[in-house]
Each structure stands twice: as C-alpha cells, then as structure tokens.
Amino acid sequence: VRFPRTALAGDTLQAATQLLGALLTRIGDPAARTGRIVEVEAYIGRDDLASHAHRGRTARNDVMFGPPGAAYVYLVYGMYHCLNVVTEPEASPAALLVRAVEPLQGADLMRRARLERAEARAARWSSDRLERERARLRTLPDSRLAAGPGLVCAAFSITRADDGRDLCDATSPLRLELDPAHDVAPSMATGARIGIGYAPEPWLSRPWRFWLAGNPAVSR
DNA sequence: GCAAAGATTTGCT
DNA sequence: GCAAATCTTTGCC
C-alpha cells in the first residue's frame, strides 16, 4: 500500500507515529529487501540545536528544506550513512531519522550487502580482521542486520546517491509502504534522542525518539 | 586553506 | 566504560 505524503506533510511528531511500523523497501532484481521501521527520531526546525538544520540551509541539508517525503541521506563519522524521511511543508526544515528496521524479506540480501561493504573496506584491513567480520556476520541474527541508523543504510545499500529521492513515489527503487494490518499503538515507547551530547537542554532531553518496545530489531 | 567535530559502531580494558 | 576508525562538512583565519 502506497505511503501517503499527507502523513508526512504536517506535524513531525504526528508523522513519527505514522512512520513507525511502516515498511521500507529497496527494489532489486529479482529479489527485494523489505523491513518494518521499528525506531525513529525527530529533528524539528531551525531552533532544534541537535538538528543539522539549526545553522540554516547548506549543500548537505538542502533536502530537509524541501517538500515532505524526500530522503535526506548524509555521512556521519566518515563511514556510516544515515537515512531520514523529510517532513513538514517546504521551507520548514524537519525530518525523521530511521534508526532501526526489522527485516521481513530479503534478509539474505541485507546480510550480503553488509558483507560486501566490509570486503570493500578490507583493502586497508589485516586479513584476520576481515575473517573475523565474516564470521560475525554469518552468525548475526536477522533481527540485528539493520538495528541502528548506520546499519539500516548498510543493509539496504543506501548512500548519498539516494539523497533527495522521493520515498512516497510508488515507482521509486527505494520507498515507503503502509502496512494497514499492523497496529503499533500498544507497544510504542518514547524517550530522549541518542548521540546528540553536543546539544544543550532542552533539546538534549526532548522525548523525540520513538520505538516499538520489545522489538528485537531496536538499536542498542 | 586548515582544523575540528560529528544524528555511529565495534572491540577491548 | 572508553577509544579507535574514517572522511565530509563546516567554521574560522
């Protein structure tokens, strides 16, 4: 089922409750990778000192200032990509960081994507380090394949090339889908955002992280 | 131009 | 619990 752009066009905290439980799909040929979004974080407006938008519009965060439904993808710590879903109307910079996804389809492809990423980087590694990584990935449970924002992008092969892509377009190779049969309300939990120690209060403690309590794919 | 930091993940102490 | 890995973006000179 198509994910309605209207669910992202308004209040970001409201949108978070819609995005939680939705499906993220990467089209492949012939197989696709699909998972349920089980953890998100909201970054809202120029005032939010934890948000990339707080210093205004730049080349990197440009799509945050654009229309809702676009993918905002950036590189953190020089090695991990993070996927955000842009919310709120144009010129109102806000987004939801996709922190964790529970694999539903194509977990084998996600595992392979994680492995290929390690192999691509292995040129500068010792041979036993690569071997250890291979062994670790072999025994990693499916539920941990995308259990973190950097891991979501590794498992779904998301890079800066996907920045700006329309996630609400039903023909997009990377897109959102609604799962009407799934009700997240009973297990939804909220808390402070993670990894924003640089931000002062009250932003540091804003309960803008949402997750499905008890789900094995939630980060940490 | 250059220096510093970062919406992370992993492994070791 | 702490530090390393790794490189783009940003801010300041």
Residues 6+ apart with CB under 8 A from A7: A15, A18, A19
**Tokens at A86, concatenated:** 């842009």
Distance, in Å, from the CA atom of A178 to the CA atom of A104, rounded to the nearest integer, reads 14
The protein side of the strand B contact, defined by CB less than 7 Å from any of its atoms, consists of A 41, 43, 50-53, 61, 64, 72, 75-80, 82, 84, 95, 97, 132-133, 136, 148-152, 194-196, 198, 219
pLDDT in tens, A131-169: 999 999 999 999 999 999 999 999 999 999 999 999 999
Distance, in Å, from the CA atom of A56 to the CA atom of A174, rounded to the nearest integer, reads 27
User: Which of A48, A46, A50 minimizes the C-alpha distance to A199?
Assistant: A50
pLDDT at A220 over 90: no
Would you say A187 and A214 are in contact if contact means Cβ atoms under 8 Å apart?
yes
Which positions in strand C are less than 7 Å from the protein's CB atoms?
5-11
Shortest CA to C1' contact from A129: nucleotide: B11
* C10 closest protein residue (CA to C1'): A58
Give the pLDDT confidence score for residue A123 in this predicted structure: 85
Distance, in Å, from the CA atom of A129 to the CA atom of A149, rounded to the nearest integer, reads 23
The protein side of the strand C contact, defined by CB less than 7 Å from any of its atoms, consists of A 52, 55, 58-61, 74-75, 77-79, 121, 124-125, 160
**Tokens at A209, concatenated:** 């992280």
Shortest CA to C1' contact from A95: nucleotide: B7
Distance, in Å, from the CA atom of A178 to the CA atom of A182, rounded to the nearest integer, reads 9
Give the pLDDT confidence score for residue A63 in this predicted structure: 98
**Tokens at A131, concatenated:** 């071997």
Distance, in Å, from the CA atom of A66 to the CA atom of A15, rounded to the nearest integer, reads 16
Distance, in Å, from the CA atom of A41 to the CA atom of A50, rounded to the nearest integer, reads 11
Give the pLDDT confidence score for residue A8 in this predicted structure: 98
For chain A, the straight-line distance linking the first and the last C-alpha, in angstroms and rounded, comes to 30
pLDDT in tens, A85-139: 999 999 999 999 999 999 999 999 999 999 999 999 988 888 888 999 999 999 9
Distance, in Å, from the CA atom of A122 to the CA atom of A206, rounded to the nearest integer, reads 39
| Model pTM score | 0.97
Q: Is A181 helix (H, G, I), strand (E, B) or coil?
A: coil
Shortest CA to C1' contact from A77: nucleotide: B6
* CA of A148, C1' of B8: distance in angstroms: 8
Amino acid letter for position A45 = G
Would you say A176 and A19 are in contact if contact means Cβ atoms under 8 Å apart?
yes
pLDDT at A15 over 90: yes
Q: CA-based Rg of chain A, rounded to a whole angstrom?
A: 17
Which positions in strand B are less than 7 Å from the protein's CB atoms?
5-11
